[in-house]
């Protein structure tokens, strides 16, 4: 695929060749972890942004609601950005839009269900009337600056998932999105491998490919295998109430459960805020068909016997406030788990959630429930043989593994190069890959990282605040209150000690009294020297008390001195 050049005539009549600019691919998230997907693609004065996702906080991020990509690069190049192009409606691909769009208000492009889910989020954040949106059909293209972006049918664990063919002056950049190859999907169309092959014949410059399941050999099973498992579960548990936890976004799975429930004469209850919201959108847009008389509200469950009910709920990942977790903890207002209930986990734990899921399962067993976790879920991501198939059809010059942890990206690169791909680039967030039809290399790095969202604050909580929160969680806090006379610095009251999360004061009165005495002695020594600097006084309190507590208890609580001054 030779690189094209523009021929121009100079003022002296001599023709010269002007080389076009390189394409720049700039991941701002979605590497080093599964989540927070965002990639900018730049050519001359045009930038398109693929996806805008979040990730969820880990155990050490106390009080954090979610984590979004650092968008410093996008803000610095705001005038070049032509739009956000979204592959599908999962949180790790759309969850940051409500936080990013107030800073960078450009049009959104997505398929129908994806846009419906996004619009619900925009409405919550009062952005619906200010953000331009265009719903795309599969096979349709949109021109954004120097790019033409084509939406192509693919399969995933949510309807409306799209692969993107990004046509540029230097060649085609193909983004698979999250995908698997399902030849027999229960609903909707199979992945459009014909179009993949057609683009491969034209020539694809680079492929950005999903790496989630690259460590798994073989093929990802079809969703139809889960339908067979559910039929068996319903047939073998005819007398018990069935409660099924699954991802709210897996609309096809929900449709499967509803259809099976209808066949077995059961009413369906939907519980969990995200589940209710997404199902409402799916019904409105025609992605879910509910047989008449099948769906009932949770307030009606007492009107039916256990063998007449199926509950579809959130909480398959052990989230503490999700509906199933509250049921397991016996704090759900409407549903009480009873001996004999059949609980189905129709998902696999996301890495990092294993402990939380296990805790919920143990709580359910304690309440006498029968828990089923085997053969009730298939992944929405491609395994090795499917990834090989995609590369064989597209025949790219370069491979750019995305959507995975570092180990996934490394193994994906090895797999791609074993298929004869000229070069696979394992990138980090912020790397700038400059490429054309002749060459490609990582040339620079732009600001990248993560911003922590805490309530309405975005990025105002950083490592120092998190460290303080961790220290508070692990060691507690001691507040030392001291009252000094103005001008003379004579101690009028205190030092008084208040603790939280350190020791129970009533059971540690001797420790507290001795600590007060140690502080008092050190303060008197300081004040006798005529030192009136409050900073020095606070430092002495911290050092004196910190040293004493460490010697006595081997703990390092946060120490907060408070000095009051009176006339």
Chain mean pLDDT for the chain? 86
pLDDT given for residue 12 in this prediction: 45
Instruction: With CA atoms as reference, report the closest residue to 205 among 524, 548, 434.
Output: 434
Q: Measured on CA atoms in the order 399, 404, 408, 410, is the torsion positive or negative? A: positive
CB-CB contact of 54 with 91 (8 Å): yes
pLDDT at 13 over 70: no
Per-residue model confidence as pLDDT tens digits over 120-172: 899 988 999 999 999 999 999 999 999 999 999 999 989 999 999 999 999 99
Least confident of 194-203, 264-273, 490-499: 490-499
Three-class SS state of 309: strand
**% of the chain exceeding 70 in pLDDT:** 89
**Mean pLDDT, range 256-262, rounded to an integer:** 93
pLDDT band at 185 (very low <50, low <70, confident <90, very high): confident
pLDDT at 56 over 90: no
Q: Kindly report the pTM of this predicted structure.
A: 0.81
CA-CA-CA-CA torsion for 178, 182, 188, 189, nearest 10 degrees? 100
The DSSP string of 69-107 is E--HHHHHTGGGEEEEE-----HHHHTTHHHHTTTS---
Q: Is the model more confident about 153 or about 467?
A: 153
Per-residue model confidence as pLDDT tens digits over 329-384: 999 999 999 999 999 998 887 766 788 889 999 999 999 999 998 888 888 999 99
**Mean pLDDT, range 512-537, rounded to an integer:** 74
Least confident of 114-128, 292-306, 393-407, 532-546: 532-546
pLDDT given for residue 311 in this prediction: 94
**Mean pLDDT, range 172-179, rounded to an integer:** 96
> 300: which DSSP letter?
G
**Positions marked active-site:** 210, 381
Q: Are strands 141-144 and 147-153 parallel, antiparallel or unpaired?
A: antiparallel
Q: Which residues pair with 482 in a beta bridge?
A: 563
pLDDT given for residue 7 in this prediction: 43
Q: Is the model more confident about 362 or about 473?
A: 362
Residue 155 dihedral angles phi and psi, to the nearest 5°: -115, 140
Least confident of 219-223, 328-332, 512-516: 512-516
pLDDT band at 481 (very low <50, low <70, confident <90, very high): confident
Per-residue model confidence as pLDDT tens digits over 68-118: 888 999 999 999 999 999 999 998 899 899 989 999 999 999 999 999 999
pLDDT given for residue 444 in this prediction: 92
Q: How far apart are CA 149 and CA 133, in angstroms?
A: 15
């Amino acid at each position: 695929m030779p690189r094209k050049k523009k021929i121009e005539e100079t003022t002296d009549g001599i023709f010269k060749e002007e080389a076009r600019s390189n394409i720049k691919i700039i991941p701002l998230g979605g590497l080093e972890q599964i989540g927070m997907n965002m990639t900018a693609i730049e050519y001359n004065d045009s930038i398109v942004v693929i996806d805008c996702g979040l990730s969820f906080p880990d155990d050490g991020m106390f009080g954090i609601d979610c984590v979004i990509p650092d968008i410093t690069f996008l803000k610095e190049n705001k005038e070049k950005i032509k739009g956000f192009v979204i592959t599908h409606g999962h949180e790790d691909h759309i969850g940051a839009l409500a936080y990013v769009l107030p800073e960078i208000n450009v049009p959104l492009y997505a398929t129908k269900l994806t846009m419906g889910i996004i619009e619900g989020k925009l409405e919550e954040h009062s952005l619906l009337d200010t953000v331009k949106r265009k719903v795309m059909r599969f096979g349709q293209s949109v021109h954004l600056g120097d790019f033409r972006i084509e939406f192509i049918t693919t399969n995933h664990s949510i309807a409306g998932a799209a692969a993107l063919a990004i046509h540029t002056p230097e060649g085609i950049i193909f983004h698979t999105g999250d995908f698997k190859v399902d030849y027999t999907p229960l609903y909707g169309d199979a992945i459009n491998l014909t179009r993949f092959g057609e683009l491969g014949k034209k020539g694809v410059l680079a492929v950005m490919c999903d790496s989630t399941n690259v460590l798994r050999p073989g093929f990802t099973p079809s969703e139809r295998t889960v339908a067979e498992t559910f039929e068996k579960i319903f047939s073998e548990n005819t007398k018990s109430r069935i409660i099924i936890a699954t991802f709210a976004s897996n609309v096809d799975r929900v449709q499967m459960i509803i259809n099976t429930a209808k066949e077995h004469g059961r009413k369906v209850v939907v519980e969990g805020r995200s589940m209710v919201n997404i199902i409402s959108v799916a019904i409105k847009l025609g992605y879910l068909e509910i047989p008449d008389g099948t769906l009932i509200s949770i307030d009606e469950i007492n009107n039916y016997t256990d063998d007449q009910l199926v509950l579809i709920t959130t909480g398959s990942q052990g989230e503490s406030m999700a509906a199933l977790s509250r049921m397991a903890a016996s704090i759900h207002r409407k549903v009480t788990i009873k001996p004999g209930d059949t609980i189905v986990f129709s998902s696999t734990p996301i890495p990092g959630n294993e402990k939380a899921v296990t805790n919920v399962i143990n709580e359910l067993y304690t309440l006498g429930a029968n828990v089923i976790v085997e053969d009730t879920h298939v992944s929405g991501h491609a395994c090795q043989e499917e990834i090989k198939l995609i590369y064989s059809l597209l025949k790219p010059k370069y491979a750019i593994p995305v959507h995975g942890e570092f180990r996934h990206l490394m193994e994906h690169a090895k797999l791609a190069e074993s298929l004869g791909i000229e070069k696979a680039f394992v990138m980090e967030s912020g790397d700038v890959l400059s490429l054309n039809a002749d060459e490609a290399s990582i040339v620079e790095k732009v600001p990248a990282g993560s911003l922590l969202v805490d309530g309405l604050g975005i990025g105002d909580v950083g490592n120092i605040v998190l460290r303080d929160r961790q220290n508070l969680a692990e060691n507690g806090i001691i507040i030392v209150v001291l009252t000094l006379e103005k001008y003379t610095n004579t101690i009028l009251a205190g030092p008084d000690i208040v603790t939280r999360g350190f020791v129970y004061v009533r059971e540690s009165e001797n420790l507290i009294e001795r600590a007060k005495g140690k502080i008092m002695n050190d303060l008197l020594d300081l004040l006798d020297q005529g030192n009136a600097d409050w900073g020095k006084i606070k430092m002495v309190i911290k050092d004196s008390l910190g040293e004493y507590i460490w010697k006595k208890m081997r703990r390092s609580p946060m120490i907060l001195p408070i000095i009051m001054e009176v006339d």
